[in-house]
Amino acid sequence: MKFLTLSLALGPCAVSAIASLPPTATIDTGPLVGVTTNLPGALGPVNKFLGVPYAAPPERFSLPRRPTPWTSARNATAFQASCIQYMVDADVGPGRDVIDGLFNTHPRESEDCLYMNAFTPATQGPPEGRAVVVFIPGGGWQLGNGLLDLSGFAGYEDIVAFTFNYRTNIFGFPNAAEIGLSQRNLGLHDQRRALAWVQANARAFGGDPKKVTIWGESAGAMSVDLHMQGYAQARPPPFRAGIMSSGQMSFGLLSITNSPRDTRSWDNLAGEVGCRGNSSLACMRRVPAKQLVEGMAKANMTALPIADNLTVPANRAAAWRDGRVAKVPVLMSTMAQEGRALVNRNITMQQFVGTYLPETLVTPKQRDAIVSLYRSKPGLESDFDVAAAIYTDLLWQCPQQNLANVSASTGLAVWRSYINASIAELLPEQFQFLGKFHGGDVVLLFSTPTFEGGGGGDGFKLTPQLYAFANYFRGVIGTFVRNPHGGPGWPAVGSSYAPFDVVALGDVGEQRSAGATPVNQTTLDADCAVFSDIYPLVEKFLSVS
């Protein structure tokens, strides 16, 4: 099942109908013809414009360029290819079954991939235009695409929604000495081009460019963090709010980037594909894309963004502490069991601590204390269970807590949630061990569920509780996008309600729930204290790398 590339329709079944006259839109590069979809119980039909170029077909390892205009109506009724996908095999990372089953469902791939997808209510909106959300997909900077159907946000939440592809892995982050420092984070430059495109064309789809919220999951959330900093001096920035779902790039281990001076990964790949030498860039531009992907696998390489002080500021934690970020409201969330999809099910504790708790970060005594704390928790029986729980807190929940509290202390309006819904129950039996896993929120919102007991669809059936939760959760996003300063419906971090200024979305303990329940932040984040010495060391390391 291709869970992450299916259309969203939170109802008994997904019914699509082509209107007698297809919808049209005219953007700054030419006219478009789209397709209309009807969702059960929606406010009205949804017009979709798919595979719209926001940039020209890119030259490999070069900055994105404006697309060439056209005069005849362009067919925008189907998704275009994703960018080139890649995922490293690692003994400590997710298993191949999880990667291929959930995260990389092997869509059609091409280097000609810089396309936008737009979803807009077909009904007449307000004269100034509707609120807009731009979703930035994740994928660990190695894969991911915008082949997602956001029709539900247009049909049920009355907002205009966009999502898009951007380059990842070596195609998006080539840390080569021959490439100028400001031109190596190509995937982030693609995102900036996409945000500029939305500003130029939102009105063509009934949106208000002054009412844009950027929303990302995983590496997409890390991108939102970077754009909050990268557009700090813009007046105004190309967005009025940000949503970070499971990710940030300023605190803890997720803040680690490649050093601009360390080009070994590029050099090793060049050697694998026969391009070693002073002119490796020209040679690598000629190598077939498939051969480069095979070379990445042989070299076991991971391409990450570098600190270029343009798309990626060097000292990001300090930027948040000093308030050097865009002054816009922020909504943050983490999943209760992020690590269960990101840690190998066969991992040993020795492998895990060697990778994530090395002696460069913790003393043997500190490491033993961390492992002992988590081994003592009910339900954590295997090395995998313990490692996944540590990973969840160390990389995701505790840094997100840090970011939320730091940003609130500078005066930003920040809301935080902890998603505790049992989303893995929807998946085939072999994936149910994942629990409340990283990416589960995306599975829930961007897949085609059918109500339990219903027929059709792809066999992905919602229980009554998760059906209600999915509708509520989508509404949380819609509420925030329409009125960011009003918040999503619970108290802001640092408000007078503290420490009950965080909510659990979904289950509360063993009790099933479909809404939001205030929780004591002090209790929720109690285990974060054991990692408090690690984060300053990571920040110090980044400052000298």
How do the pLDDT tens digits run along the chain, 545 residues long? 333 333 333 333 332 334 479 999 999 999 999 999 999 999 999 999 999 999 999 999 999 999 999 999 999 999 999 999 998 877 888 887 887 777 767 789 999 999 999 999 999 999 999 999 999 999 999 999 999 999 999 999 999 999 999 999 999 999 999 999 999 999 999 999 999 999 999 999 999 999 999 999 999 999 999 999 999 999 999 999 999 999 999 999 999 998 899 999 999 999 999 998 778 999 999 999 999 999 999 988 999 999 999 999 999 999 999 999 999 999 999 999 999 999 999 999 999 999 999 999 999 999 999 999 999 999 999 999 999 999 999 999 999 999 999 999 999 999 999 999 988 888 888 889 999 999 999 888 886 554 444 333 344 577 888 888 999 999 999 999 999 999 999 999 999 999 999 999 998 877 888 899 999 999 999 999 999 999 999 888 876 66
> Number of folded domains in the chain?
1
β-pair type (115-121, 35-37):
unpaired
Q: Are 357 and 531 within 8 A, CB to CB?
A: no
Give the up-direction half-sphere exposure of residue 177: CA atoms within 13 A in the CB hemisphere: 13
Strands (E), 1-144: 24-27, 30-33, 35-37, 46-53, 74-75, 115-121, 130-136
- Whether 243 and 215 have beta carbons less than 8 Å apart is answered as yes
Torsion region of 206: left, alpha or beta (phi above 0 gives left; psi -120 to 50 gives alpha): left
Q: Which residues of 175-204 are buried (b: 16+ CB within 10 A; e: fewer)?
A: bbeebeeebbbbbbbbbbbbbebbbbbbbb
Residue 448: its pLDDT value, please? 52
pLDDT in tens, 221-234: 999 999 999 999 99
**Residue 527 counted as domain residue:** yes
Instruction: Determine if the peptide bond prior to 40 is cis (ω within 30°).
Output: no
Quick check: is 286 in a domain?
no
Residue 264: inside a domain, yes or no?
no
**pTM as predicted:** 0.93
Q: What pLDDT score does 422 carry?
A: 84
**Which pLDDT does position 447 carry in this prediction?**
67
Residues pairing with 508 in the sheet: 511
Residue 360 lies in a domain: yes
Judge whether 329 and 412 are in contact, CB under 8 Å: yes
Residue 327 lies in a domain: yes
Q: How far apart are CA 316 and CA 226, in angstroms?
A: 8
Question: Helices 264-272 and 289-299, interaxial angle, to 10°?
Answer: 120
Is 289 among the domain residues?
no
pLDDT at 544: 61
Residue 467, domain extent: 3-258+303-483+493-544
| In a domain? residue 391 | yes
pLDDT of residue 93: 84
Rounded-to-integer distance, Cα 443 and Cα 427, Å: 10
Q: What CATH number is given to the structural domain containing 116?
A: 3.40.50.1820
Q: Is residue 92 part of a domain?
A: yes
- For residues 292 and 273, give the distance between their C-alpha atoms in angstroms, rounded to a whole number: 7
The pair of structure tokens assigned to 520 is 């004591």
Nearest to 209 by CA among 388, 27, 337: 27
Instruction: Please state, in angstroms and as integers, the Cα–Cα distance from residue 356 to each residue in 100, 252, 365, 391, 393, following that order.
Output: 24, 11, 15, 8, 12
Q: How many residues does the chain have?
A: 545
